[in-house]
């Protein structure tokens, strides 16, 4: 979204900073500033980070200042130590400001993770993009504003797509929508729904519905998450997507081992993510610190039944997210190989 030049003045920013001394937009006049609202548990944010880091590396010596604004979706993501771990895990070297009280979120009237705003050398917002994608367009806008400050600037070609699913021609389907597991926003399929803010036994029978999740065993429900209490807990859902992620933490008892089954079977090496381990015909992951865990990557879009089994109390499950874009040529090749 292009914003008319000289119309929208960017608000001031900054209290707690990582990777930098505190900055403010007045001292950055004459620079082009890219603002990126993100959360280290948000899959859409994480998929954009390689581009944001790449722009920082390409243009920081040419007048671009990248500032990540970390506005947390969950309570545990408010803590600076957790944000620092996420920042280090994803190799972010540009300045990041902590926005745990949503002050900057509100100052920008922002509503999205991720959200990018480009501020020109005079301190005005000139471009905004919400969600994933538009990487070439965003970089082209960065270059346009850098040239306004230095018409003779020798700028590199726009970055090539980092993932096959970002290439023109990639196919994006409509996946299962994000599923929260806390009772404030969660969609539980069990008959009777949540027993809010209490520990209860859950069970279900019959055909499973789409766009909801199911609990089996003993769980404690909170506004943000469900927590396993017994030694035989399961989370089950039907989904349509190419890949599935789940924000989880381990409470005080960590790490916690979680078995992952798809369509009633352990994951194969092809379906396994870097978080998954396969041993003795079992696929599982170990949940430690609170973050997003990648559960399964099918490399192709389709319907599946996912089940997570946990035999240890203390697992906290917050939200499922799903990805749906696949490389068209890879999809065709896989379909042909399956015949």
pLDDT band, very low/low/confident/very high, at 337 (cuts 50, 70, 90): very low
Distances 207 to 62, 142, 199 between C-alpha atoms, Å = 59, 51, 25
Does residue 4 have a pLDDT over 90? no
- The answer to whether position 262 is within a domain reads yes
CB-based contact 125:3 (threshold 8 Å): yes
Does residue 336 have a pLDDT over 60? no
Please provide the average confidence, as pLDDT, over all residues in the chain: 91
- The answer to whether position 238 is within a domain reads yes
- The answer to whether position 10 is within a domain reads no
Whether the upstream peptide bond of residue 86 has omega within 30° of 0, thus cis, is no
What is the reported pLDDT for 230?
87
- Rounded to 5 degrees, φ, ψ at 281 are 60, 25
Q: How many domains does the chain have?
A: 2
Do residues 116 and 80 share a domain? yes
What is the reported pLDDT for 93?
98
Arithmetic mean of pLDDT, 246-260: 89
CATH number for position 41? 3.40.30.10
Q: List the one residue out of 279, 325, 319 whose CA is nearest residue 75.
A: 319
Final residue in a domain of this structure, among 162, 193, 215: 162
- The answer to whether position 9 is within a domain reads no
Task: Please state, for a pLDDT cut of 90, what percent of the chain lies above it.
Answer: 81
- The answer to whether position 249 is within a domain reads yes
What is the reported pLDDT for 166?
86
Do residues 99 and 223 share a domain? no
pLDDT digits over 275-329, tens only?
Answer: 999 998 899 999 999 999 999 999 999 999 999 999 999 999 999 999 987 755 5
Distances 283 to 61, 155, 262, 264 between C-alpha atoms, Å = 46, 47, 10, 12
What is the reported pLDDT for 251?
76
CB-based contact 276:267 (threshold 8 Å): yes
Does residue 59 have a pLDDT over 50? yes
Final residue in a domain of this structure, among 120, 139, 162: 162
Do residues 154 and 188 share a domain? no
Do residues 28 and 96 share a domain? yes
Do residues 37 and 76 share a domain? yes
Q: Quick one: angle between helices 135-149 and 43-59, nearest 10?
A: 30
- The answer to whether position 254 is within a domain reads yes
- The answer to whether position 11 is within a domain reads no
pLDDT digits over 117-164, tens only?
Answer: 999 999 999 999 999 999 999 999 999 999 999 999 999 999 999 988
Q: Of residues 273 and 331, which shows the higher confidence score?
A: 273
Do residues 32 and 135 share a domain? yes
Task: Give the helix/strand (H/E) hosting 101.
Answer: none
What is the reported pLDDT for 169?
72
Do residues 126 and 257 share a domain? no
Do residues 135 and 198 share a domain? no
What is the reported pLDDT for 13?
63
Total-model pTM: 0.88
Query: What distance in Å separates the CA atoms of residue 271 and residue 269, rounded to the nearest whole number?
Result: 5
Do residues 154 and 260 share a domain? no
The boundaries of the domain holding residue 258 are: 172-338
- The answer to whether position 7 is within a domain reads no
Q: Please give the structure tokens belonging to residue 74.
A: 């969950």
pLDDT digits over 179-197, tens only?
Answer: 999 999 999 999 999 999 9
pLDDT band, very low/low/confident/very high, at 235 (cuts 50, 70, 90): very high
Do residues 67 and 107 share a domain? yes
CATH number for position 219? 2.60.120.260
Final residue in a domain of this structure, among 94, 128, 162: 162
Do residues 108 and 199 share a domain? no
What is the reported pLDDT for 283?
98
What is the reported pLDDT for 171?
79
Do residues 328 and 188 share a domain? yes
Does residue 104 have a pLDDT over 70? yes
């Amino acid at each position: 979204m292009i914003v008319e030049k000289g119309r929208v003045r960017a608000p001031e920013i900054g209290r707690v900073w990582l990777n930098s001394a505190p900055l403010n937009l007045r001292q950055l006049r004459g620079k082009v500033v890219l603002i990126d609202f993100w959360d280290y548990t948000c899959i859409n944010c994480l998929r954009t980070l390689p581009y944001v880091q790449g722009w920082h590396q390409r243009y920081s010596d040419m007048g671009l200042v990248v500032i990540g604004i970390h506005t947390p979706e969950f309570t545990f993501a408010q803590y600076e130590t957790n944000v620092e771990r996420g920042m280090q895990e994803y190799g972010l070297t540009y300045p990041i400001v902590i926005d745990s009280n949503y002050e900057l979120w509100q100052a920008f009237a922002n509503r999205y993770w991720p959200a990018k705003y480009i501020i020109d050398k005079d301190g005005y917002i000139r471009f905004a993009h919400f969600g994933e994608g538009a990487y070439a367009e965003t970089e082209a806008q960065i270059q346009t504003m850098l040239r306004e400050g230095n018409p003779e600037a020798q700028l590199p070609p726009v970055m090539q797509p980092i993932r096959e699913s970002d290439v023109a021609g990639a196919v994006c389907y409509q996946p299962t929508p994000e599923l929260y597991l806390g009772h404030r926003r969660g969609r539980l399929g069990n008959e009777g729904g949540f027993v809010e803010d209490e520990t209860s036994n859950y069970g279900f029978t019959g055909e499973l519905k789409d766009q909801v999740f199911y609990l089996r065993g003993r769980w404690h429900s909170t506004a943000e998450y469900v927590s396993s209490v017994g030694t035989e807990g399961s989370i089950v859902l039907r989904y349509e997507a190419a890949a599935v992620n789940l924000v989880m933490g381990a409470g005080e008892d960590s790490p916690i081992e979680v078995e992952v089954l798809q369509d009633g079977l352990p994951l194969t090496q092809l379906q396994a993510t870097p978080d998954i381990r396969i041993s003795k015909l079992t696929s599982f992951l170990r949940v430690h610190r609170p973050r997003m865990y990648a559960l399964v990557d099918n490399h192709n879009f389709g319907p599946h039944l996912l089940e997570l089994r946990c035999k240890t109390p203390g697992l906290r499950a917050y939200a499922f997210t799903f990805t749906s874009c696949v490389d068209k040529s890879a999809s065709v090749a896989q379909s042909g190989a399956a015949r």
